[in-house]
A and B are shown apart, each in its own frame.
Chain A
Amino acid sequence: MADAPIPSVVAMLVCDQVIAEQGTNKKSLIGVFEVFNAFGFPVFIPRIAIYVKLADAFGKYRFKLRLVRLKNESLVAEINVEAEVKDSAHYTELMLNMGNLPFPEAGKYEFQLYAGDVYLHRVTVQALLAPLPPGGGQLWQPPSHHQ
């Protein structure tokens, strides 16, 4: 990272899942969102993904993705990714599919991206407390099979 150029973030999005198509390696972003609802907190989001498109990246990097609660700017989680970009002539894509990421309480959160110790970009996510549905908040269950 010491000699690697500072990449520029062209796009950074939060979604449910990023799928890379075999063969073409094209990315499909499923369920792009910036606000989500939960019936209670803390909540673990079963599927959440970050997609980042970078320009000017070349060489070895240690990317840091930090999930920060904006209310008090406390750190919820930090994920380190070591990567080597071998082709500077084109954009670079970074995709992270994560499971069970914790959100301690309702409010605004931020995913902050660093290359080494250099701040690059951020994307905000808002967690809302959803009112329980009428009838006590029973979650929908798939119907059982009848003979």
Chain B
Amino acid sequence: MATAVASPVVNSAILSGSGRSDLFQDLQIDQPLSSKASGMAIVLPRQKRDQGYPEPNVRVEILLPAYAPNPRPAKVLFGGLQDPDLQVIRPIPLDVCVEESAVVVSWAEADEFGTGENLSCALDDFSHAVRELYHHLHASDTTPGADLLRVKQILGKYIEPRTK
């Protein structure tokens, strides 16, 4: 197997998410923004050539596949719930096995599982099941029994509603 030859160029968005307006403060304004005097169209300020990127805050390394761990390990820590209303606050430990050519991921503590033709499909299935279970158990018209109350408590240790 081969691996990536060239080093990737990585720019972390230490500033990109912030939307700070102070990025514009150093811009050189070649012409006034007002068009009243000349009657011409507004000319946007030109960026300085040396403004550059913010200082990178990332370090990148590329592993040869021989040194990298198995992409389908026996255990997976899961954090990709894919629900805009929920946040995983603690990684969910999953066991991975293959049964009849299907990959099965199972969460023993909550007795939940997901299946698929590969690990990612099984994780997607698991994610869907957990999302539905969480919303069902937290619905106002649901009165869970003792077993489901235990599952609800377990879910609460790993998942909580998103606050922002």
Contact B12 A112 (CB under 8 A): no
Tell me the bound Cα distance from A117 to B68 in angstroms. Answer: 12
B146 within 8 A of A: no
Closest chain-A Cβ to B100's Cβ sits at a distance in Å of 16
Binds A, one of B31-39, B77-85, B135-143: B77-85
Tell me the bound Cα distance from A25 to B52 in angstroms. Answer: 10
A110 within 8 A of B: yes
Counting chain B residues whose Cβ lies within 8 A of the other chain, the interface size class is: 35 or more
Identify the 7 closest CB pairs spanning chains A and B, nearest first: A99-B6, A93-B13, A90-B17, A118-B79, A6-B79, A100-B5, A78-B68
Render B80-123 as a binary contact track against A, CB cut-off 8 A, 1 for contact: 11100001111100000000000000000000000000111001
With beta carbons under 8 angstroms apart, the residue of A74, A82, A115, A117 that contacts B58 is A82
Closest chain-B Cβ to A68's Cβ sits at a distance in Å of 5
CB-defined contacts of B3 to chain A, threshold 8 Å: 76-78, 102
Tell me the bound Cα distance from A98 to B3 in angstroms. Answer: 11
Closest chain-A Cβ to B52's Cβ sits at a distance in Å of 7
Q: Can you list 15 A-B contacts with CB-CB less than 8 angstroms, sorted by A residue number?
A: A8-B88, A26-B16, A76-B2, A76-B65, A77-B63, A79-B60, A80-B62, A85-B12, A85-B14, A86-B14, A95-B11, A95-B13, A112-B120, A118-B77, A119-B77
- Closest chain B residue to A17, Cβ basis: B9
Residues of A within 8 A of B (CB): 5-9, 20, 22-27, 42, 44, 56, 66, 68, 70, 73-87, 89-102, 104, 110, 112, 115-122
CB-defined contacts of A98 to chain B, threshold 8 Å: 4, 6, 8-9
Tell me the bound Cα distance from A90 to B19 in angstroms. Answer: 8
Extra A-B contacts (4), CB below 8 Å, given A23-B23, A25-B15: A8-B80, A77-B63, A80-B62, A97-B9
B47 within 8 A of A: yes
B10 within 8 A of A: yes
CB-defined contacts of B1 to chain A, threshold 8 Å: 74-76, 102, 104
